[in-house]
Structure 1
Amino acid sequence: MATIVKTPSGTWKALIRKTGWPATAKTFRTKRDAEDWSRRTEDEMVRGIYIQRGPAERMTVEVALARYLREVTPTKRESTQIGERKKALALTKHLGKYSLAALSAEIVAQYRDARLAGDDGADGKPVARSNNTVRLELALLSHLFTIAIKEWGIGLPFNPVSHIRRPAPGAGRNRRLTVPETQRLLAAVDAYSNPMFSWIVRGALETGMRLSEIAGLRLNQVDLQRRVIRLDHTKNSSPRTVPLTVAATQVFRNAMDNPLRPGETDLLFFGDPGKDGKRRPYMFDKAWTQAKLDAGLVDFRFHDLRHEAVSRFVEAGLSDQEVAAISGHKSMQMLKRYTHLRAEDLVAKLDKLKH
């Protein structure tokens, strides 16, 4: 049985001591509320479904996110850490004052809809976020609840994010390079003073590797004799070996034979020493922006080189499994989002079909 006593302040305190359960207490405004809670709680204990909600009622989303960023985020890749800190700012701004217990599926759904419709940006004007941005923010919030329930011992009956619809992933970009555009772009990057810029762009176009994968390459990852590059750290955390075309092999041979390479770094594409004296991957943001302007490709992104390369692999006759082995896509669905075949190129193949 629960013990219910009146406190000096006029409220009613219910205390439950039951074998096999920690002592549980809660204060209420009326004696009837205290009695109702006691009966409900003891019944849950008897049925083995009682959840101690006190910690969830006291911990806010803001406090929980701060703990997550402090304990969980540092175990992930640096690029992921940066992204999670940015997403946490948006979640804290809109949901930070709610307790974990008070954050319902309805409230999370309202957050989703507000972000998609356009909440206030830095200048106070409405800014609509993309489906992918909101989907990733919700993924972070969902994992926060998972960690809180499974590892922090926070008593919650369910994860509210799992009870709402997630925004569907975007259709993906379908920007392809025409032959004249490819010629203009390569001419622009070849004209840049630092040849590493050209090698990186040409390497991306020939291999379909991500910028982060190319920029972080070390000398021991490139095997010119076998014509492969070994990627140990990738976006999806699955190592893979990338085969090199004849053109790609020459690009990376030039990079490895770079006469200006300093002896203190094994980075294939190296930048100037920082204030700490360490060299980090070569950065070329300004050069890329200028090259696009010179080539008349204002709407083109560096990641579109990966789209172009993957599409060319398919056009060359490689199977989906072979292309996925090169690009690192784990699912055929994701691979198809990165593969865009030109309809005019398919016409010639259709003409070859026998009727």
Structure 2
Amino acid sequence: MGGWNIIAILLAVCDLIEITVALVLLYLCCLRRKTKKPTSSSDSENFLKLSYQSLVKATDGFSSGNLIGEGSFGLVFKGVLNEGERTVAVKVLNLVRHGALKSFLAECEALRNIRHRSLLKVLSVCSGIDSHGDDFKALIYKFMINGSLDKWLHPSQTVAETMDRPRSLSFSERLNIAIDVSMAVDYLHHHCETPIVHCDLKPSNVLLDDDMVGHVGDFGLVRVLPKASANQSSSVGVKGTIGYTPPEYGMGNEVWTRGDVYSYGILVLEMFTGKRPTDDMFQGTSNLHNFVKAALPERMVDIVDPALVQEVVQGNMLADRNSNDGRARVSTKLRESLISILEVGVACSAELPRKRMDISNVVAELCRIRNKLLVSKR
């Protein structure tokens, strides 16, 4: 009997070992499947492999018909990949221009680790040799179907433009875009590992998708600030676009986050007045900031974009006809909101940097204005 007991014990131990081995193998198999799962479509978008030849084909040889814009250091073309499956924007760097290579490297470095819904998405980069044997470098972005904010604020007068899209942006669209841009700047200034200064905020660098969401692009002049300081950078050289650069840059000061706030303020004033900061009406000490500041609040209607004035007037007419349904309250809130938004633009574009709003406060204020207006419409 003792011998049978020993055999039974041995068989039980063998069964236990077999079960343990089977469980271990099953675990390892599952673990292997997890580590080798197929790459998602979103991951594949981030790692497009594009050659110079594929970009030539996509843009029809970088033809003028596909030219959709001009960046700080190059031209931007519309391209169609994979037999029409995906439309992209291709920014081809002009490497002959001084600072273009440095711009390319800075933009790649800055965009490598930043992600935000209001920042233009970079799908890939291309670095190689063109058909003439020269260096070729390009950035490939997600295509924004509604183009730049600049083209909406200052539309051309061609028949094609008039037929393709509305003549102007509504008040709510402008406010939403202003909030989108402020959130992007706030992210760059306060929510990255180190503060990032865009250096070239302007309407042509804000792109609109099919939902009219604003995306900040063209990081060719971007500067990453030292970790020890959220103020100044050690970078020198080109610091932005005339009309949007803060006064201190003209005096030799280095770039900093308050410089972006100034540019943002000018952008907001342009969005709601329809006037460029480089308009011929601004001569000598006259500028867009002073023009708006002098008119607020009493003469607000005299300075805002005529399209917005029409929107206010139409709101007043409806209010007069339907004074009992709350439309009068909406019309008043619209006027108050316009004044408040222009005041934000003025505060951001103050000549003295210490008087400018922090971009986080800008986000909070603009969202408060939007929420207040939405409540009044209920």
Q: TM-score, normalised by structure 2?
A: 0.21
Q: TM-score, normalised by structure 1?
A: 0.22
